[in-house]
């Protein structure tokens, strides 16, 4: 039976090569581990710059990136192929574009807003 995809869930359930890497305590919430918030964490005795992430998007999972992953999948409720916009790190489903041909058309989907 085909899986019904929902925005906010992990595409592979947090698995990478069969091993549990990513966890999501609250469905649709942050995915752990999170990127380091402050760097350096220890005061070294002189002025230090805060670490920033030079990325265009911060997805609801809390990961920073410039280009999300797009995966084609079958959505049983719609009975058609859809485009899943995923976090390239953890696989968080940020958006579902239906039908898949809408994603392929630059006129219908010129930019993916993650």
Could you give the CA distance from residue 20 to residue 89 in angstroms, rounded to a whole number? 13
3-class secondary structure, 73: strand
Residue 96: the pLDDT is 92
**Using one digit for the tens of pLDDT, what is the confidence trace for 64-87?**
888 889 999 999 999 999 999 999
Q: Positive or negative, the Cα torsion across 9, 12, 14, 20?
A: positive
Tokens of 103: 């994603």
Q: Where are the domains of the chain?
A: 1-35+48-114
Q: Supply the pTM of this predicted model.
A: 0.80
Q: Positive or negative, the Cα torsion across 67, 62, 60, 17?
A: positive
- Please report, for residues 36, 50, 53, the alpha-carbon distance to residue 44 in angstroms, rounded to integers and kept in the order given: 18, 13, 21
**Using one digit for the tens of pLDDT, what is the confidence trace for 3-62?**
899 999 999 999 989 999 999 999 899 999 988 766 666 677 777 666 666 788 888 998
Residue 103 burial (C-beta neighbours within 10 Å; 0-12, 13-18, 19+): buried
């Amino acid at each position: 039976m085909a899986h019904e995809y929902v925005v906010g869930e992990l595409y592979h359930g947090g698995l990478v090569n069969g091993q549990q890497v990513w966890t999501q305590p609250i469905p649709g919430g942050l995915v752990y581990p999170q990127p380091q918030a402050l760097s350096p964490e220890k005061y070294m005795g002189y002025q230090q710059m805060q670490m920033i992430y030079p990325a265009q998007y911060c997805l609801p999972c809390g990961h920073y990136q410039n280009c999300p992953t797009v995966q084609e999948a079958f959505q049983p409720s719609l009975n058609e192929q859809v485009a899943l916009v995923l976090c390239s790190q953890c696989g968080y489903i940020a958006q579902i574009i239906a039908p898949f041909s809408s994603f392929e058309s630059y006129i219908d989907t010129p930019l993916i807003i993650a």
